[in-house]
Amino acid sequence: MKNIFLGMALIAAFSVACKVKTTKENTNNTNAKPTVNASNTNSKSEDSNAPVQEAMSIENKTLGKVSHRYRKTGCNTVIEVKLEGEGEIQTLIPKDKLSNQIDVDGTEIYFNFLLLRMPQPAGCSVGQPADITDIVIKKN
């Protein structure tokens, strides 16, 4: 009886010790959008806050370039992202069609993405399908 109780106590202790610790990365909310004070109707103050809001909207986002280089092979639109530190270019295939304003070859955009485990579209042998969200066009 003592052996059984001791064994159960050890299993409980190990299972608690193996609990995954929450890190700062896990608790960050990267999809949070900046809010604008609705009671402020002064247009001058809204204009002065525009650069701050733009900077907040691109924080923690990925910079990429819209490309149509694979249209002949069957990929309509892709987004090319240069990975930091590696120097390689990662090609993302948007799951949903981009808006006409964004779907222009060479347009640089900031966005969030989630790689998807789904097959590539027919005729598209390059890149990974991804869910592209929170798109902001880069201002020059």
Q: Is residue 94 within 8 Å of residue 102, measured between CB atoms? A: no
Instruction: Report residue 4: phi and psi, to 5°.
Output: -65, -45
Domains delineated in the chain: 61-140 (2.40.50)
Q: What is the mean pLDDT of the chain?
A: 75
Per the DSSP assignment, residues forming a β-bridge with 13 are none
pLDDT tens profile 78-111: 999 987 777 889 999 999 999 999 999 999 999 9
For 5, what's the count of Cα atoms within 13 Å in the CB-facing half-sphere? 2
Q: What are the distances in angstroms from CA 9 to CA 1, 16, 17, 20, 119?
A: 12, 11, 12, 20, 47
Per the DSSP assignment, residues forming a β-bridge with 64 are 109
The Cα–Cα gap between 44 and 94 comes to: 37
- The reported pTM is 0.59
Q: Is residue 66 within 8 Å of residue 106, measured between CB atoms? A: yes
Residue 114 pLDDT: 95
The Cα–Cα gap between 91 and 128 comes to: 6
Predicted confidence band of residue 121 (pLDDT cuts 50, 70, 90): confident
For 71, what's the count of Cα atoms within 13 Å in the CB-facing half-sphere? 9
